[in-house]
Amino acid sequence: MENQGMPLLGDKFPELIVQTTRGKMTLPNDMKGKWFVLFSHPADFTPVCTTEFVAFQNLYEEFRKLNCELIGMSVDQVFSHIKWEEWIHENLGVKIEFPIIADTGAVANRLGLIHPGKDSNTVRAVFIVDDKGLIRIILYYPQELGRNMQEILRAVKGMQFSDKNACAMPADWPNNGIIKDHVIVPPPKDIAGAEDRKARAKAGEYECYDWWFCHRKA
């Protein structure tokens, strides 16, 4: 039986047919084989959201280099999105190239994005979905705080690197205050694994503070 509750980390992104500024899309199917970042904003023609869209667009090519697409969303009609895009282009010199979902409220309710006590406004949510359609990261921000797009880009890079190299990423990676640009070796699952960890450290494969805290070059 399909889960109809709010999606959680590791869940398959819900199948949705959406109207966007670039036509109808079926998610996650239309993104098959790609990562994507779906981000909601409270409303068009609002100052914080405008700065966010410009910031996302300025990093769009960096996301695409990671095989990752951007998709915006709010509970606004498509003509409002289009007019807002035009305003951004005419007044700020930035052309928005990624699609924006025009939601009636159905998508926001399905994803749990309606801001409590703010009518139909959506929260500043971010869903990072991998190339298999699985939700890997969910972030929520209040209306008052704009997002840090460099952090979202870092999160995509970190998850992709983790998947490819079977490692964990430290705080502030790749500029951690303790292990710098190294990555963390996943902890052992048993005594044999702990002994193997010690042997690898002696052989110079890992650097360890202890058997449960080992790191290596990325």
What's the confidence (pLDDT) of residue 6?
Answer: 79
Domain 166-218 sits in CATH at 3.30.1020.10
Tokens at 186, concatenated? 């996943």
pLDDT for position 108: 86
Q: What is the rounded radius of gyration, in angstroms, for the C-alpha atoms of the chain?
A: 20
Q: What are the tokens at 56?
A: 């996302």
- The mean pLDDT of the chain is 92
Q: What is the DSSP letter of 185?
A: P
Distance CA 40, CA 71 (A): 9
Comparing 63-67, 74-78, 149-153, 158-162, the range with the smallest average pLDDT is 74-78
How sure is the predictor about 122, in pLDDT bands with cuts at 50, 70 and 90? Answer: confident
pLDDT in tens, 129-157: 999 999 999 999 988 899 999 999 999 99
Using the predicted structure, report yes or no on whether residue 211 has a pLDDT greater than 80. yes
> Can you list the alpha helix ranges (DSSP code H) found in 66-121?
78-92, 106-111
Mean pLDDT for the stretch of residues 203-217: 92
Cβ proximity of 141 and 157 under 8 Å? no
State both tokens at 20: 């966007």
178 falls in which pLDDT band (50, 70, 90)?
very high
Mean pLDDT in residue range 67-72: 98
Higher pLDDT, 117 or 49: 49
Instruction: Select the more confidently predicted residue: 95 or 123.
Output: 95
pLDDT at 144: 87
Q: What pLDDT, in 10s, does the model give residues 1-41?
A: 344 567 899 999 999 999 999 999 999 999 999 999 999 99
Told to judge if 214 belongs to the known catalytic residues of this protein, a careful annotator would answer: no
Domains in the chain: boundaries:
16-147, 166-218
Residue 173: phi and psi, rounded to 5, are -50, 135
For residue 60, pLDDT beyond 90: yes
CATH homologous superfamily of 16-147: Glutaredoxin (3.40.30.10)
pLDDT at 104 > cutoff 90 = no
Q: Tokens 């998610």, residue?
A: 27
How many Cβ atoms sit within 10 Å of the Cβ of residue 90?
9
Q: Where are the beta strands (DSSP E) in the chain?
A: 16-20, 23-27, 35-40, 68-74, 100-102, 124-129, 135-141, 183-184, 207-210, 213-216
**Banded model confidence at residue 113, pLDDT cuts 50, 70, 90:** confident
| Catalytic annotation, pick one of 49, 68, 167, 214 | 49
